[in-house]
């Protein structure tokens, strides 16, 4: 082969390979996913987050990279996770699993856009200027689970019309002062007395649950809190073993054997976080995306659990239920 022909042939081969090489070297956008919960109790919600990303055209491993951090109810880890993820040059931070995660993510907003999910008020927490115009580098989803404590207490009152009611609260959860205030104001209006048990770690959880029995509460409410969510099966098992009627915030508790829940659709909220994340990755600004607000709360009752507890659910309560598990 002549030298000139060889050079032309080699040049054509390089040109053909070059696009493949460039594609292989392309850096995919990276999303940090930080949750105050655990992966074990978030499987359905995480799947919906991926669904939301997919609706915007992003699939993990194909055209977006995700880096996960799970605090498993230890809120002190969240600021460290923010620093780690920012150090890894993420393009966006999804901060989910409650108010503690959203608040910890605030310092990331000077570097990357943040999409949060939380149960409380992001304006009151100083995360956004308003729901319609966030005004900064943060937006997200609000499910108002913290504001439903008094409604859950009224349902607990219906389940157990007399006797001492118990409430389990995590004092390390940022909204807990407001939760306690609302519950203490609501109880006298129902003509009820409350015993407040507190826990923020596993040793404290055992002590708190035992204290409910010691004080002879007739029924209990688990306050909205990602730490309790991450110990969901443990709490449900305790309630079953001790034949204690308990009211929870999310449907997931009732699916796993809990008695009754009243709250928003958590997986749908995570899907919306994924939708917003995809829109930002495609060029939208967080400040232009209004904070999405949950508008529907579901009452879910497990009749199998009620039967095991020897508890008769009133017909009026059953009629109001959005879902009855038999």
Specify the 3-state DSSP secondary structure of 312. Answer: coil
Average pLDDT over residues 150-169: 97
58-65 contacts: CB < 8 A, separation 24 or more?
Answer: 58/29, 58/277, 58/278, 58/281, 63/28, 63/29, 64/28, 64/29, 64/30, 64/31, 64/281, 65/28, 65/29, 65/30, 65/31
Phi and psi at 115, nearest 5°, equal -115, 120
**Fold match, 25-144+265-295 / 146-263+298-325:** yes
In the block, tokens 């115009």 appear at: 133
- Give pTM, 2 decimals: 0.87
Domain ranges of the chain: 25-144+265-295, 146-263+298-325
Q: Is the pLDDT of residue 126 over 80?
A: yes
Specify the 3-state DSSP secondary structure of 298. Answer: strand
Q: Is the pLDDT of residue 251 over 90?
A: yes
* CATH superfamily of the domain spanning 146-263+298-325: Response regulator (3.40.50.2300)
* CATH superfamily of the domain spanning 25-144+265-295: Response regulator (3.40.50.2300)
Q: Is the pLDDT of residue 224 over 70?
A: yes
Average pLDDT over residues 254-268: 96
Q: Is the pLDDT of residue 11 over 70?
A: no
pLDDT at 4 (0 to 100): 46
Q: Is the pLDDT of residue 296 over 80?
A: yes
Q: Is the pLDDT of residue 168 over 90?
A: yes
pLDDT at 13 (0 to 100): 42
How far is CA 210 from each of CA 168, 217, 319, rounded to the nearest angstrom?
11, 11, 33
State the chain's mean pLDDT as an integer: 92
How does 35-67 read in b/e, with b if 16+ C-beta sit within 10 Å?
Answer: bbbbeebbeebbebbbebbbebebeeeeebbbe
Structure-block tokens of residue 308: 């095991």
pLDDT at 218 (0 to 100): 98
pLDDT at 20 (0 to 100): 38
Average pLDDT over residues 82-102: 96
Average pLDDT over residues 84-92: 97
Q: Is the pLDDT of residue 165 over 50?
A: yes
Q: Is the pLDDT of residue 14 over 50?
A: no
pLDDT at 32 (0 to 100): 98
Phi and psi at 310, nearest 5°, equal 70, 30
pLDDT at 26 (0 to 100): 60
């Amino acid at each position: 082969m002549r030298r000139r022909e060889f050079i032309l042939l080699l040049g054509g081969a390089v040109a053909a390979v070059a696009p493949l090489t460039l594609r292989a070297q392309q850096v995919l956008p990276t999303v940090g996913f930080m949750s105050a919960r655990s992966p074990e109790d978030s499987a359905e919600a995480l799947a919906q987050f991926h669904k939301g990303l997919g609706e915007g055209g992003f699939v993990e491993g194909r055209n977006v990279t995700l880096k996960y951090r799970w605090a498993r109810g230890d809120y002190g880890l969240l600021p460290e996770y923010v620093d780690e993820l920012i150090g890894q040059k993420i393009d966006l931070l999804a901060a989910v699993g409650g108010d503690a995660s959203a608040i910890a993510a605030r310092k990331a907003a000077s570097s990357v856009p943040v999409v949060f999910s939380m149960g409380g008020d992001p304006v009151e927490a100083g995360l956004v200027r308003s729901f319609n115009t966030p005004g900064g580098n943060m937006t997200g989803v609000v499910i108002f689970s913290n504001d439903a404590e008094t409604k859950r207490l009224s349902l607990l009152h219906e389940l157990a019309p007399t006797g001492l009611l118990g409430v389990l609260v995590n004092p390390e959860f940022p909204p807990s002062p407001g939760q306690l205030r609302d519950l203490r104001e609501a109880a006298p209006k129902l003509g009820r007395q409350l015993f407040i048990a507190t826990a923020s770690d596993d040793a404290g959880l055992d002590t708190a649950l035992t204290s409910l029995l010691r004080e002879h509460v007739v029924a209990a409410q688990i306050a909205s809190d990602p730490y309790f969510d991450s110990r969901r099966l443990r709490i449900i098992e305790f309630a079953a073993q001790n034949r204690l009627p308990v009211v929870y915030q999310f449907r997931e508790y009732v699916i796993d054997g809990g008695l009754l829940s009243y709250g928003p659709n958590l997986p749908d909220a995570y899907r919306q976080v994924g939708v917003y994340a995809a829109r930002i990755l495609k060029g939208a600004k967080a400040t232009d995306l209004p904070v999405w607000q949950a508008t529907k709360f579901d009452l879910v009752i497990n009749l199998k659990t009620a039967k095991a507890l020897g508890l008769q659910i009133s017909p009026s309560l059953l009629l109001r239920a959005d879902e009855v598990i038999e």
